[in-house]
Structure 1
């Protein structure tokens, strides 16, 4: 039997544990990446919660630098414990920065974060570079940063701490993408476990000991590396979680996991060993060897892994069972454990003792002394089950004589004063991409002193409340929704199930307080960890709900708000995000949803509520015309709520570098026909007691421009058409139909709108190190004494110029589609299918039916896992059926190339500010725009296309399939694209 160290000695030796701590981190990245990882409060807050309430008196600090020169200056100034470099590894020809730093400071571990899905060749290259400790994959969840910090600490401390009985879990996997997902899950469970243990500590020293005795996580990427760890720490291992296929003897071995399990089984009896694989044939082999197995492709993988950890490593409650698996009772703490053991049936006590379950449970709780004593409880060595029971009870009684039962944590609600802040977080976890961007820009606006830079208009972020992503995870867990989702229910069923479920209690308290203090309408928006990120934008894929928040009954207001939150949660599992994620090779189960609740920007006009101006600005213009330049950007403006812009309806578009330049419209009469003819508002009276449902559009009211004229909200944005003179007057104080031209602002500078937009775009580009897109709304109060407000709503990076390859279009080959108005920079060589709207039967009035038929054929390709070229007329993805085909994302999810074709009677400008357009560019799809009657700029050879073999067709749409792949090329430098015959 191993030596039992006296508890008093253990307590006094607490400071000998975890001697290496990461307190100073050097981050080499763009300024925005630095903000994502620290300044948005996520990493700092997570570390604060994870460390502060674990009685650790320090919090790691991040020092950001932009390049190697600044890095060396920082290294000279202070002691750094960890260096994190964040970049797109595929863009790097070498690792000069890391190598140079490592040569000068060889003892500092260097970890690399990558946005890229790494190829085996790239991983092999990184392994060959000794200066890089590990490479991790950044998917938007900042918990990976906490995992990196703890992993480096564990790696540095395990040798010394294992001598004092500290346990470890070994993860064996050679995929950075996968272990970057799994490590945060394991650490979250361990830190959750540790936090619970603190509630039962005898005193401060005991609590601190439990913190520092928490299990360590070790990582191996090869068989040899794993075996070295197992041989060294065999007496300290709680378990091994291993892939099946990983390198052995210098080559990828499809059976490494089984060979590792066999070797471990020969060394350690009754040892938890979990195999994971994407190859289902390994499941039967694992079963035959009595090994636990998880399918990496399972939609419930992360949930199943968490369950396995809880059940096999002694985390969570101790579940007493009969040998056949029937549950007898559960013990959440030591008091209940002791009570149950006294009356436990003999066969259950023998089962748990002989399988080392008691020892494992205590070892996971950092109670190493008790674990050591119970580890060697061999039932055969006791004269009877009664003697064994008495021994176990004596060990427990001696050690936990002064053990205290658990405490209840008090919840402190938000105060009224708190509600006055611009940005408030409710719950723990990630802010998500959308809220993170808002918080970042809120801090940047303050730092750059933009808020009060302009006279008579305030630049601000509307009051924002974020429900952290951990609330989403608790909501799913507490309502047992994983199993429900696994059955693939319809969207209406998902919405109903989620709204019938209950939010965690603390979230309910927060939302009740919020509806008490906030009296204006609220926009409840998704803010997932992937949304608006540099990984993938998910722009407009999830739902947004407007809550009127105007009912006199607070219970009605609370129910509307809580239902909106739950419906945002539900939208994670709808068809559009699931297909969108699958096409991007992302597991939707990786997604974690925060919820952003914002004051809806606007003014009340009777029962209507809407802002004077909504806008989307982009720092890069895909379709400039003389004298515009692409890098000067573009802005889309609309009267009323921004739904008109993001859904691709008629809005006003201009260049912020040339605000007085008129649109390319030939006559005032044409301007009248093509300008914004309706706007969106919320009717507070009609919607006061509305019951929220999955369809998010019901809350909006679409109104004619004449209504805004009645409301007198056109003063700053309107003009008047004079039929008598066939001209447009830049004022609303003339008789005649009103137009939305924004002339008073853009031509006569009644508001410094263009200057503010340029300032924010410049600030965003500098901070992100990339082109950006921002959303905003301008409120012009009816009360002239109140300042006007430019409300910053959202920012996201644009994916421009990411492709480094040069595309040659000079080959003399025959094509069937050509355009000089394209987006993208890519070769397409594996598309065999084309979905196209039949030009011979197309009727604009049937555009809704056409969208449905495209969706039907798209779903066929989705089931087959095939991608396609999609060709249609007018705008694709618009919500205005008279501008094109109103496709939702799931109806066109399989398209790799979109071709929008103008007709004589249908020539809308591309909807650059729409969510559809942003997702198209960000997912690296190809886009062709074919102008009407301008073959020098683009064409489609309809005769050739109509003669291709048709696989399936509907009334208006055809699906063409060819054995030989279509080849397409787009040159992002010249905006030219070709699809070859």
Structure 2
């Protein structure tokens, strides 16, 4: 398989990622079941809707959920009859013994609606949860007054609802958190989501137009939460091929009883699967650090004053977030960093062969690419056995050729928004300006999308079917040109075609459009055909074919 891929990279069939099929299940309406006083505090003091809305917009998330309130189980069920509720969040007040009964009644009436519970008292709640039948509650969290927990509950629920398809079918990455302390996982999860969503904003730079940028947001890594050893093993086995790493406590339940070795048993299980798999152990007992390091894991002390920052830094460094650092094991230093695919490609050209082999053997190239939702290229790199290359120089050539092939594939069938700072020879079809395209331009774009949709580029041996590399100047440029130079009245009154022509060609295009055209010319070494594209030439009853000339 390797030989076929290496010899046919130009015709390698990348698998198209259906980003529009990701995150099909979403939380749109949240029912909060609590006392009138608690909800008042959320609304007025906590300003829950305002803070969630601000959180969504700051992270470029669309469609923040709406919140409605019920102060009893009976009222909640009645409201669910008239509203499409996606999740119920209820308060588990220690003094209110009806809280579990409330959840049970809601679950019996609507078994498919997830229920999350919040409580001020995490230590007391743990003992109460062990006594009560909590099968009706899907998630329990500690409430410390920070509205970030609501974002975490919503995203965690969405991740669980979409995990099977998004992770195992499409290849989205995930982080496994194994922790049974309400207080700590209620702190960790909002923090991890903040890191993930900030990371995802960086993905948008890889989008070729605004629509593609928003679709890439759906490819963000997910969080999977387990509170027992058995749940952790099950989630690891189910999703291990697409896990970025594991964060685990040491002391939690195994076989129905608390086990002080549970985290180490999980770490040992993971090490048998993969030697370099990232595993972060965090514990209230500092003495667990030595054992963790012996098992090639990383360790954090739970009661450290810098715990939040330490977890964030670990995720960024070891879970393939942030910039890619090209580490040379011989020189023992970072040779280059890359924040996007363009810098990644340039760094590969100059770093040492030892550096390339170091990262290739650890599958760190494919992991970094997958964490940035560049799945087709990551999948290609992940199936290669780098030990089989004759020399390390071949690895560099393979990586560079793979990236080039992917860049060509990625731009096919897409109308790319022209960016003078990022435009290169791999972009097949780009648009300058936000206006409409003309008939010929639309026709070329349609043909390009048709070829990609039906995989016709390399259908026939030794024949490549494609459109010419194209840049379209949209009607926005024309409209601004006409308006700036006040040409509309002149053109309407003048009847001499030569005078109209001379007046038009004596004026300059907008400077921003000229800068884009110069950027295009810098990447072009072959002859260029300049052709007008009329808005009316593809009309059935108003053909303009043959009216305009082509300039070389």
Q: Counterpart of 1:16?
A: 21
Deviations 1:447-506 (A, max 9, x none): xxxxxxxxxxxxxxxxxxxxxxxxxxxxxxxxxxxxxxxxxxxxxxxxxxxxxxxxxxxx
Q: Distance in 2 between matches of 1:355 and 1:348?
A: 11
User: Cα distance 1:94–1:55, how it changes in 2: closer, same or farther (>3 A)?
Assistant: closer
What corresponds to 1:77 in structure 2? 82
CA deviations 1:209-237 (Å, max 9, x no partner) are: 32111111000000111111111111111
Equivalence map 1:921-940=2 (5 Å): none
- Change in 2 beyond 3 A, CA 1:192/1:255: same
Deviation at 1:124, TM superposition (A): 2.1
Partners of 1:56 and 1:302 in 2: CA distance:
23
SS at match of 1:231: helix
1:348 aligns with 2:352: no
2:242 pairs with 1:236? yes
Q: 1:94 to 1:57 in 2, by over 3 A?
A: closer
Normalised by the length of structure 1, the TM-score is 0.39
Residue 327 (structure 1) aligns with: 334
Alignment length (residue pairs): 405
CA contact 1:200–1:406 (8 Å) conserved in 2: no
Q: Displacement of 1:380 after TM fit?
A: 1.1
Structure-2 separation of matches of 1:108 and 1:265: 37
Deviation string, structure 1 residues 722-756 (Cα, Å, up to 9, x no partner): xxxxxxxxxxxxxxxxxxxxxxxxxxxxxxxxxxx
TM-superposed CA distance for 1:140, in Å, is 1.7
**C-alpha contact (below 8 Å) 2:325/2:336 kept by paired residues:** yes
Q: Which structure carries more helix by proportion?
A: 2
Residue of structure 2 equivalent to 1:391: 398
Task: Name the CA distance, whole Å, in 2 between partners of 1:400 and 1:90.
Answer: 60
Equivalent in the alignment of 1:272: 278
For residues 123 and 36 of structure 2, the distance between their equivalents in structure 1, rounded to whole angstroms, comes to: 24
Question: How far apart in 1 are the matches of 2:68 and 2:222?
Answer: 26
Provide closer, same or farther for how the CA distance between residues 204 and 352 of structure 1 changes in structure 2, counting only shifts above 3 A.
Answer: same
8 Å contact 2:320–2:367 — kept in the other structure? yes
Q: Matches of 2:182 and 2:407 in 1, distance apart?
A: 42
- State the distance in 2 between where 1:52 and 1:303 align: 24
Q: Decide whether the 8 Å contact of 1:43 with 1:146 is kept in 2.
A: no
* Corresponding position of 2:365: 358
Map Cα deviations across residues 934-954 of structure 1 (whole Å, 9 max, x no partner): xxxxxxxxxxxxxxxxxxxxx
Q: Measure the CA separation in 1 of the matches of 2:115 and 2:216.
A: 29
Q: Which residue of 1 aligns with 2:229?
A: 223
> Is 1:296 paired with 2:305?
no
Deviations along 1:225-273, whole A, 9 cap, x unmatched? 1111111111111111000000000000000001011112222342111
Query: Is residue 50–residue 191 contact of structure 1 (8 Å, CA) maintained in 2?
Result: no
Q: C-alpha displacement at 1:297, in angstroms?
A: 1.5
Question: Residue 286 in 1 paired to residue 292 in 2?
Answer: yes
Q: CA 1:32 to 1:335, structure 2 compared with 1: closer, same or farther past 3 Å?
A: farther
Q: Given that residues 52 and 147 in structure 2 are in contact (C-alpha distance below 8 angstroms), is that contact kept between their aligned partners in structure 1?
A: no
For 1:196, which of 188, 202, 222 is the aligned residue? Answer: 202
> Who is 1:154 aligned against?
159
Larger radius of gyration: 1
The C-alpha deviation readout for 1:832-871, integer Å capped at 9, x for no partner, is xxxxxxxxxxxxxxxxxxxxxxxxxxxxxxxxxxxxxxxx
Q: C-alpha distance in 1, partners of 2:195/2:78? A: 38
Pairing partner for 1:336 from 327, 336, 343: 343
Partner residue, 1:135: 140
> How many angstroms apart in 2 are the aligned matches of 1:59 and 1:108?
18
Partner residue in 2 for 1:306 = 312
Corresponding position of 1:481: none
2:197 matches 1:174: no
Q: Name the residue aligned to 1:941.
A: none
Assess if the C-alpha contact under 8 Å between 1:194 and 1:365 holds in 2: yes
Given that 1:200 and 1:405 are in contact with CA atoms closer than 8 Å, whether structure 2 keeps it comes out as no
Counting only pairs closer than 5 Å after superposition, residues 692-731 of structure 1 correspond to structure 2 as none
Q: 1:206 matched to which residue of 2?
A: 212
TM-aligned CA distance change 1:259 to 1:33, over 3 Å: same
Distance 1:185 1:105, change over 3 A: same
For structure 1, which runs of at least 5 residues remain unmatched after alignment?
A: 409-981
Q: Would you say the 8 A contact 1:85–1:111 is kept in 2?
A: yes
- Within 2, Cα distance between the matches of 1:335 and 1:309? 23
Is the contact made by 2:89 and 2:116 (CA closer than 8 Å) also made in structure 1?
yes
Native 8 Å contact 2:23 2:166 kept in 1:
yes
Q: Offset of 1:70 from its aligned partner?
A: 2.0
| Secondary structure of residue in 2 paired with 1:89 | coil
Between the aligned partners of 2:63 and 2:403, the Cα distance in structure 1 is: 34
> Whose RCO is larger (CA < 8 A, sep 6+)?
2
**Residue in 2 aligned with 1:758?**
none
Change over 3 Å in CA distance of 1:8–1:363 after alignment to 2: closer
User: Aligned equivalents of 2:420 and 2:108: distance in 1?
Assistant: 50
Q: 1: CA distance between counterparts of 2:150 and 2:99?
A: 24
Note if contact 2:93-2:99 (Cα within 8 Å) is conserved in structure 1.
Answer: no
3-state SS of paired residue (2:206): coil
The offset of 1:72, in angstroms, is 1.8
Alpha-carbon contact 2:176-2:243 (below 8 Å) kept: yes
Counterparts in 2 of 1:882-897, with a 5 A limit?
A: none
In structure 2, what is the Cα distance between the partners aligned to 1:351 and 1:334? 19
User: Greater share of strand residues, 1 or 2?
Assistant: 1
Q: After superposition, where does 1:548-563 map in structure 2 within 5 Å?
A: none
Say if 1:290 and 1:101 are closer, same or farther in 2 by CA, change over 3 A. same
Shift of 1:97: 0.8
Match of 1:108 in 2: 113
Would you say the 8 A contact 1:168–1:237 is kept in 2?
yes
Q: 2:131 maps to which residue? A: 125
**Cα distance, 1:199 vs. partner?**
3.0
Matches within 5 A, 1:764-783: none
Is contact 1:144–1:180 with CA below 8 Å preserved after alignment? yes
Q: Secondary structure at the match of 2:359?
A: helix
Which residues of 2 match residues 602-613 of structure 1 at below 5 A? none
Is the CA contact (8 Å cut-off) linking 2:118 and 2:140 kept in structure 1?
A: yes
Paired residues of 2:268 and 2:295 also in contact (CA < 8 A) = no
- Kept in 1, the 8 Å contact 2:46–2:145? The answer is no
- Give the superposed CA RMSD: 2.7
